[in-house]
Amino acid sequence: MVLKAGNLKPIPNTVDTLKSGSPEMVVNGIVTTMFATTAVIEQAVKLGANFIIAHEPTFFNHVDNKEMVPNNPVVKQKAELLARHNIAVWRCHDYIHSIKPDVVGYGFLKKTNWLQYYKPTDKYTITLPDATLQQMVQHLKQTLNIPHLRVVGDLNQQCRRVTLIPGAAGGLMQMTAAVADQPDVLVVGEVSEWETAEYFRDGNLQGRKMALIVLGHSYSEEPGMEYFVEWLQPKLPGIKITHIASGEPFKWV
């Protein structure tokens, strides 16, 4: 089960390790997803796929330490489910972001029809045709199939310069990009509410035109795991690869 495709160099101390299963297993089908949730695992079993490639952790912390909270019943039951069905889960986080161009970013731009505005030189920031924040929100909801998202800023504000940081990059990286690139709108997956969201709130209260769109972590990176099928399938022609969207954990009430 060695992934030789992509000419990737080994990344030291990577979190991209097997979370269940063993390297000797014979792969008979692959599922890509954001999170190997219990629902995703059950769907993989139905598909007869025994290898799940998940972008984010399986056991609820960055290094998938199953003992982070001792005697965790949810962790135990999930590990048992994987063992019972002999499913291997491999996290593909550091590697997928190291592919040039970043498969997650590329998948996002493809899904939002913004690939045409992307130049390999601009790492995060692209310039789009004029639109209001409201129109941009509608576009993102429609193309990414997002029922609800969160916004800080004026919905009538013009948005041309857009900085994209899918996932949960953290306040430091999000605010550094916002200061350095001066976008009209920063689009992220997830924020710490007390950091980036408050920064944008105060910026608006100071009269600045700066908007923040918070898509949800899964919604922001799932297009990357969907596009990963297209990237990987030609390299493994004998194995069926299917994308299953894990969706977001929240109910909106």
Q: How far is the CB of 222 from Zn ion (least distance, A)?
A: 10
Query: How far, in Å, CA of 244 to CA of 87, rounded?
Result: 15
Which DSSP state fits 32? E
Candidates 57, 67, 45; CA nearest to 90 is: 57
- Rounded least distance, CB 98 to Zn ion, Å: 11
> What separation in angstroms does the CA of 56 have from each of 59, 129, 162?
9, 33, 25
Cβ proximity to Zn ion, 167 vs 216, nearer residue: 167
Q: Which residues here bind Zn ion, judged by CB under 5 A?
A: 167, 221
What is the arrangement of strands in the sheet containing 88-91, beginning at the earlier edge strand? Answer: 18-20, 88-91, 51-54, 30-33, 241-243
Q: Is 62 annotated as a binding residue?
A: no
Instruction: Please answer whether residues 160 and 133 qualify as being in contact, where contact means their C-beta atoms are separated by less than 8 angstroms.
Output: no
Distance in Å, CB of 131 to Zn ion, minimum: 26
> Does residue 195 have a known ligand-binding role?
no
Query: Helix, strand, or coil here: 7?
Result: coil
Enter the tokens of residue 79.
């590990």
Nearest-approach distance from CB 111 to Zn ion, in angstroms? 15
Q: Which is nearer to Zn ion, 184 or 221 (CB)?
A: 221
Residue nearest Zn ion, CB atom distance = 167
Q: Which is nearer to Zn ion, 86 or 101 (CB)?
A: 101
Least distance between Zn ion and beta carbon 41 (Å): 20
List, in order, residues 6 or more apart from 228 with CB less than 8 Å away.
Answer: 32, 53, 92, 96, 103, 107, 243
Shorter beta-carbon distance to Zn ion: residue 87 or 188: 188
- Is there a binding annotation on residue 139? no
Smaller CB distance to Zn ion: residue 8 or 239?
8
Annotated binding site for a divalent metal cation: 55, 217, 221
Annotated binding site: 55, 217, 221
